[in-house]
Amino acid sequence: METTKLILAALAILSAPPAFAADTARGDAGVKEASELCVVSGETAVLACRTDSDLVFAVCADAGGALRLAIRRAGQPDILLPKNKGDGTVGTGWVPYSGGGGSYARFRSGKLDYVAYSGIGRGWEQAGLSEVDAD
């Protein structure tokens, strides 16, 4: 998998597997604005961030656990993935390691995929959004 662009963001875990949920998160700028991207009835923001380039994104979950990615770039229409709920274009995973762990959700979109991720370890926390070549 070739990474074409990496966008780092401040960490704001609003809901996560208990293995690495935190009571507080550093760098919560834009969390409220990003969380508001989860406007569909019954959705909850699982991960919400503002990047250094003022892009905001949120991974939203509905009551049934289906995930959706919402991305807002200033002056551009919002990107909402997947286009059709339940079309098999969302993959998730988590990686445990000594002193922490990480999780990700990958959203397929034609020739480009978006991977939202968060991780925490000894002395660091990070979340972000990567755009990767779908191949």
Segment 14-42 shows an average pLDDT of 56
Closest CA relative to residue 91, chosen from 116, 127, 111:
116
Evaluate whether 92 touches 103 at the Cβ level (below 8 Å).
yes
Evaluate whether 116 touches 13 at the Cβ level (below 8 Å).
no
pLDDT tier at 69 (50, 70, 90 boundaries)? Answer: very high
User: What DSSP state is assigned to residue 78?
Assistant: P
Name the amino acid, one letter, at 26: R
**What pLDDT is recorded for position 55?**
85
Q: Tell me the two tokens of residue 86.
A: 């339940």
Q: How large a percentage of the chain has pLDDT more than 90?
A: 30
Evaluate whether 16 touches 103 at the Cβ level (below 8 Å).
yes
Max alpha carbon distance in the chain (Å)?
Answer: 42
Q: Please check the confidence at residue 14 and state whether its pLDDT lies above 60.
A: no
pLDDT tier at 107 (50, 70, 90 boundaries)? Answer: very high
Those residues with Cβ within 8 angstroms of residue 28's Cβ, 6 or more apart along the chain or in another chain: 10, 12
What are the tens digits of pLDDT across the range 51-61? 777 788 999 99
